Amino acid sequence: MSLSEGQLRILNIVAEKSGRSVSTPVVDTAVIEASGLIPEEVYLYLSQLDGLGLVKIGIKVSGAEFRMVNIIKEDLEETSQGQEIR
């Protein structure tokens, strides 16, 4: 599997913020803030990573301004390192 530079960047931010734990969710707004990218771009990358099965995006709760993101892969360090960037 080949990840783009943007996908890998967002994946690494989620990994860092969660402490590389599949059981620790991360608030999507924290990922946006850490990335320095516009929200739409981050949501695009998160959606792509969700489709690849690397993260899971929680359902937006009524009235909430954020969603929770969880890592799916337990060995994220191995998953995110050594990926070919396209």
CATH number, residue 20: 1.10.10.10
Asked if the model's pLDDT at residue 29 lies above 50, the reply is: yes
Instruction: Classify residue 39 by its DSSP letter.
Output: H
Residue 69 lies in a domain: yes
Query: Quick check: is 83 in a domain?
Result: no
Residue 14 included in any domain: yes
Percent of the chain clearing pLDDT 90 (strictly above):
51
65 pLDDT above the threshold of 80: no
Q: Examine residue 40 and state whether it is found in any structural domain, yes or no.
A: yes
| pLDDT score, position 84 | 44
* Contacts (Cβ under 8 Å, ≥6 apart) of 65: 29
What ranges in the chain are assigned the alpha helix state H?
5-18, 28-35, 39-51, 76-80
Q: Where in the sequence is the domain holding 25, given as residue range(s)?
A: 2-76
Q: Domains in the chain: how many in total?
A: 1
Residue 86 inside a domain? The answer is no
Q: Residues 69, 14: contact at Cβ < 8 Å?
A: yes
Give the pLDDT band of residue 20 (cuts 50, 70, 90).
confident
Please give the Cα distance from 60 to 8 (Å, whole number).
Answer: 24
Averaged pLDDT of the chain: 83
User: 79 falls in which pLDDT band (50, 70, 90)?
Assistant: low
